[in-house]
C-alpha cells in the first residue's frame, strides 16, 4: 500500500500529442481525409485542379503568343493570343476617349483609387475625408470633361445643406460661434435659392477651362465603370439611409411614401429604370431642355441602389435593442443626434457584410448601361472583338476583363472582412 501511494504521488512525465493529430498532418487528416468518402473527394478534386492548372499553363504561357501583328498570325499557335490584349488594352480601358489624351482618364482612375484607399483608413473618418473627396472629385471630373462650370445654385445648395445639417447635429454641443456660422450658411443658402428661383439673383457660374472638352458620349472603359459604381453608391448610401429611416417613421405619409418607393424600385429590374431614364424621361422634359445621358444613367443607378441599401439598413435598425433608443432619449439628445451618433453607427456595423455584397453586385451591374449606349469596361472589352483583324479570340478578352473585375471585387470583400473584425472588437466576449 505504501509503494502504491508513493508511486501515485510521483509526477508523471509529460507526453507530446500523437504526431498524426497535430501540425499539417493532423490538419489534413481532420479536414481532408477524415473518412473514405472525404478522402476520395479530396483526391478527385486535387486531380481536377492539377489538370486545370496544367492545361492553363500550357495554353496561357507555354504555347501562348504575346507579340503578333494580327489575329491570323496570332492564331498559328494552339495557345492563348495575349497579343490581342497588348494591341487593344488602351481601347479596353478608356474606350473612345481621344487617343492622344488617354492620360486624362488614367489619372482620373488614379484619383478615384486614391480616394477609395483614403476612405479605407479609419483615421480619415472625419472632416479630412470630406476634403479628400471634394478635391478628388474635382480632379476626376476636370480630367474627364476638361471643362467644368459651377453655377451659383450649387454653392447655395451646399450652404443650405451644410448649415441645416450642422444645426441638427451640433445643437446643444457646439459653441455659440459655431452655431451662428451654421445659421448664417442656412439663411444665405435658403434666401439665395429663393431669390434664384424667383429670378431676382442672376445666373452666375464659375467656369474652369483646363483642357479640351470631351463629351460623355466618348467616355468608356474602366473610368465609366468606376464613376458609375463609386458615385452611384456614394449618393445612394445616404439616400438609402433616409429611406430606411422614413420607412420606420411614425408619420403615416412619410412612411407610406418611402414604402411605396422602395417596393416600386425593388420590384422592377435595373434595365427598365435605365430605359426609362434614357428613353421616357426626355419625353416629360420641356421642349429644348436635355439632360446628359450619362447623368440619367447615374440617377437610375442611385435610385435602384438606394432602395436595396434602405432595406439592408432597416434590418440593421430593427436588430438594435429598444434600450439603445431609450438611452439616447435619456441623454437629452434630439432625433438627429441620437440617430447619427448612437443608432446608425451600431446598425451599420451589423450590416457590413450585406452592404459590401450589394456594393460588389452593383459594381458588376454597371455593365447593364450598354442597353442605353454607354460603354463600360466589360462592353469596351467586348467591342475590342469587333475588329476583323483580331476576331476569334473572345476567351482571352473576357478572361482579362474577369481578372480586372476580380481584383476590385476581391479587394472589397477582404476589406469588408477586415472592417467587420475591427468594428466588432469591442463587442466580443
The model's pLDDT over 144-163, given as tens digits with 9 standing for 90+, comes to 999 888 888 888 888 888 88
- 284 and 179 in one domain? no
What gap in Å lies between CA 359 and CA 250, rounded to an integer? 30
Provide the b/e sequence for 169-208 (b: ≥16 CB within 10 Å). Answer: beeeeeeeeebebbeebbeebbebbeebeeeebeeeeeee
Q: How many CA atoms lie within 13 A of 41 on its CB side?
A: 8
Based on the domain organization, do 164 and 292 belong to the same domain? no
pLDDT tens, residue by residue, 290-307:
778 888 889 899 999 999
| Judgement on whether residues 272 and 371 belong to the same structural domain of the protein | yes
Same domain? 125 vs 195:
no
240/352 same-domain check: yes
Residues 204 and 344 placed together within one structural domain of the fold:
no
The owner of cell 476581391 is: 410
pTM value?
0.84
Identify whether residues 281 and 173 lie together within a single domain. Answer: no
| CB burial readout 75-105, b (16+ within 10 A) else e | beeebbbbbbbebbebbbbbbebeeeebebb
- What does the pLDDT read at residue 28? 79
The answer to the question of residue 389 being in a domain is no
Q: Which pLDDT score, from 0 to 100, does residue 19 have?
A: 59
Place of cell 490584349: 85
Q: Tell me, yes or no, whether 241 and 376 share the same domain.
A: yes
Which of the listed residues 187, 209, 231 is the one where a domain comes to its end? 209
pLDDT the model gives residue 71: 79
Lowest mean pLDDT segment, chosen from 15-29, 116-130, 382-396: 15-29
CA-to-CA distance for 246 and 259, rounded, in angstroms? 8
Residue 237's pLDDT is 92
CA angle 292, 297, 300 (to 5 degrees): 130
* 304 and 244 in a common domain: yes
Instruction: Please answer whether residues 278 and 296 qualify as being in contact, where contact means their C-beta atoms are separated by less than 8 angstroms.
Output: yes
- The reply to whether 330 and 369 lie within a common domain is yes
Residues 389-416: pLDDT tens digits?
Answer: 888 888 889 999 999 999 999 999 999 8
Q: What is the pLDDT of residues 81-107, one digit of tens each?
A: 898 898 899 999 998 999 999 999 999
Predicted confidence (pLDDT) per residue in 319-374, tens digit: 888 888 788 778 877 777 788 888 888 888 888 888 889 899 989 988 888 888 88
Using pLDDT thresholds of 50, 70 and 90, give the confidence band for residue 281. confident
15 band by pLDDT with thresholds 50, 70 and 90: low
Q: Which domain holds residue 318?
A: 214-383
Q: Is residue 163 part of a domain?
A: yes
Is 366 part of a structural domain of the chain?
yes
Domain boundary among 194, 209, 224: 209
Whether the per-residue pLDDT at 308 is higher than 90: the answer is: yes
Task: Kindly state whether residue 250 falls inside one of the protein's structural domains.
Answer: yes
191 with 230, same domain?
A: no
Sort 375 into a burial class: Cβ within 10 Å, 0-12 / 13-18 / 19+.
buried
Bridge partners, 81 (sequence order) = 65
What pLDDT sits at residue 26? 77
pLDDT level of residue 275 (50, 70, 90 thresholds):
confident
Confidence category of residue 380, pLDDT binned at 50, 70, 90: very high
- Average per-residue pLDDT in the chain? 85
Quote the CA–CA distance of 422 and 96 in Å, as a whole number: 42
211-218 mean pLDDT:
90
- Domain assignment present for 425: no
Residues 254 and 324 placed together within one structural domain of the fold: yes
- Domain boundary pick from 161, 184, 209: 209
Which residues lie below 8 Å from residue 17, measured CB to CB, with a gap of 6+?
Answer: none
The reported pLDDT for the residue numbered 363 is 92
Number of domains present in the structure of the chain: 3
Query: Is position 278 within any domain?
Result: yes
pLDDT at residue 257 is higher than 70? yes
Is there a domain that residue 171 lies in? yes
Residue 244's pLDDT is 92
Q: Is the pLDDT of residue 18 over 70?
A: no
pLDDT in the model for residue 108: 95
> Locate cell 447615374: which residue?
298
Supply the pLDDT for residue 339: 84
Q: Per the domain annotation, does 93 fall within a domain?
A: no
Amino acid at each position: 500500500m505504501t509503494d502504491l501511494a508513493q508511486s501515485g504521488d510521483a509526477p508523471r512525465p509529460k507526453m507530446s500529442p500523437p504526431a498524426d493529430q497535430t501540425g499539417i498532418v493532423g490538419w489534413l487528416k481532420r479536414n481532408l481525409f477524415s473518412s473514405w468518402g472525404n478522402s476520395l473527394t479530396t483526391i478527385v478534386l486535387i486531380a481536377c485542379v492539377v489538370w486545370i492548372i496544367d492545361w492553363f499553363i500550357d495554353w496561357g504561357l507555354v504555347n501562348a503568343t504575346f507579340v503578333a501583328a494580327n489575329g491570323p498570325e496570332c492564331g498559328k499557335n494552339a495557345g492563348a493570343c495575349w497579343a490581342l490584349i497588348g494591341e487593344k488594352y488602351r481601347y479596353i480601358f478608356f474606350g473612345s476617349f481621344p487617343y492622344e489624351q488617354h492620360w486624362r482618364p488614367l489619372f482620373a482612375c488614379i484619383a478615384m483609387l486614391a480616394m477609395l484607399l483614403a476612405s479605407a483608413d479609419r483615421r480619415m473618418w472625419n472632416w479630412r475625408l470630406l476634403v479628400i473627396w471634394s478635391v478628388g472629385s474635382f480632379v476626376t471630373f476636370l480630367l474627364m470633361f476638361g471643362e467644368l462650370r459651377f453655377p451659383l445654385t450649387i454653392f447655395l445648395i451646399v450652404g443650405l445643406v451644410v448649415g441645416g445639417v450642422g444645426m441638427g447635429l451640433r445643437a446643444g454641443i457646439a459653441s455659440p460661434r459655431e452655431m451662428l456660422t451654421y445659421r448664417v450658411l442656412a439663411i444665405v443658402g435658403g434666401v439665395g435659392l429663393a431669390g434664384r428661383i424667383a429670378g431676382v439673383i442672376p445666373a452666375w457660374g464659375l467656369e474652369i477651362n483646363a483642357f479640351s472638352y470631351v463629351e460623355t458620349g466618348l467616355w468608356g472603359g474602366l473610368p465609366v465603370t468606376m464613376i458609375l459604381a463609386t458615385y452611384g453608391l456614394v449618393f445612394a448610401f445616404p439616400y438609402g439611409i433616409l429611406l430606411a429611416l422614413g420607412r420606420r417613421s411614425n408619420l403615416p405619409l412619410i412612411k407610406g411614401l418611402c414604402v411605396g418607393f422602395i417596393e416600386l424600385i425593388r420590384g422592377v429590374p435595373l434595365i427598365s429604370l435605365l430605359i426609362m431614364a434614357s428613353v421616357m424621361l426626355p419625353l416629360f422634359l420641356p421642349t429644348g431642355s436635355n439632360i446628359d445621358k450619362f447623368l440619367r444613367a447615374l440617377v437610375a443607378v442611385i435610385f435602384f441602389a438606394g432602395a436595396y441599401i434602405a432595406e439592408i439598413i432597416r434590418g440593421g435598425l430593427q436588430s438594435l435593442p429598444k434600450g439603445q433608443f431609450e438611452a439616447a432619449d435619456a441623454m437629452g439628445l434630439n432625433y438627429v443626434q441620437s440617430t447619427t451618433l448612437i443608432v446608425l453607427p451600431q446598425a451599420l456595423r451589423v450590416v457590413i457584410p450585406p452592404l459590401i455584397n450589394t456594393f460588389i453586385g452593383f459594381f458588376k451591374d454597371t455593365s447593364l448601361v450598354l442597353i442605353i449606349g454607354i460603354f463600360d469596361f466589360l462592353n469596351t472589352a467586348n467591342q475590342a472583338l469587333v475588329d476583323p483583324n483580331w476576331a476569334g479570340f473572345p476567351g482571352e478578352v473576357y478572361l482579362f476583363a474577369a481578372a480586372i473585375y476580380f481584383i476590385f471585387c476581391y479587394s472589397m470583400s477582404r476589406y469588408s472582412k477586415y472592417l467587420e473584425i475591427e468594428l466588432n472588437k469591442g463587442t466580443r466576449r
